[in-house]
């Protein structure tokens, strides 16, 4: 099991976080034109959100989670491919305030089957659905244990 440090972002993390956001979106959302994704999207899409950074023991950034606290809404959870499946995403969820006694929700694109399986394995359940420019999504909610 890897050891992760979950911390707030630092100014020097911004470029790497934007890179993670851009590269993982392009690798994951293969059904969307990759030209629709831009480096600037990270700062625009996380404006006003609380960011949690996942740092590997060697100091490299494995990924991040962005939370819209007012709605207990997990907006994004992105992990670099080389760190996927090693516990980084789980560490980010566990770092959320009052996890697992607090109810959180998120939207997961239907085509993103791997992410949906991850959330379902962590106690989320499908509670709704809708459509977005990137495709149909399901709303997933975490109910406290």
pLDDT tens by residue, 44-97: 889 999 999 999 999 999 999 999 999 999 999 999 999 999 999 999 999 999
CB atoms within 10 A of CB 18: 17
Order of strands, edge to edge, in the sheet holding 4-7?
Answer: 4-7, 50-56, 61-68, 73-79, 104-109, 135-142, 124-132
Q: What does the chain come to in residues?
A: 145
pTM above 0.85, yes or no: yes
pLDDT band at 28 (very low <50, low <70, confident <90, very high): confident
pLDDT at site 75 = 93
| 100 preceded by a cis bond (ω within 30 of 0) | yes
């Amino acid at each position: 099991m890897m050891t992760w440090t979950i911390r707030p972002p630092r100014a020097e993390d911004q470029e790497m976080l934007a890179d993670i956001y851009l590269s993982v979106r392009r690798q994951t959302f293969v059904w969307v034109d990759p030209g629709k994704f831009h480096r600037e999207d990270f700062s625009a899409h996380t404006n006003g959100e609380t960011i949690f950074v996942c740092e590997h023991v060697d100091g490299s950034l494995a990924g991040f989670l962005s939370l819209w606290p007012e709605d207990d809404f997990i907006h994004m959870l992105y992990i670099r491919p080389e760190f996927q499946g090693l516990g980084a995403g789980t560490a980010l969820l566990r770092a959320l305030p009052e996890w697992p006694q607090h109810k959180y929700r998120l939207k997961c694109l239907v085509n993103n089957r791997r992410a949906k399986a991850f959330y379902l394995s962590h106690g989320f359940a499908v509670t709704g659905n809708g459509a977005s420019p990137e495709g149909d999504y399901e709303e997933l909610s975490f109910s406290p244990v």
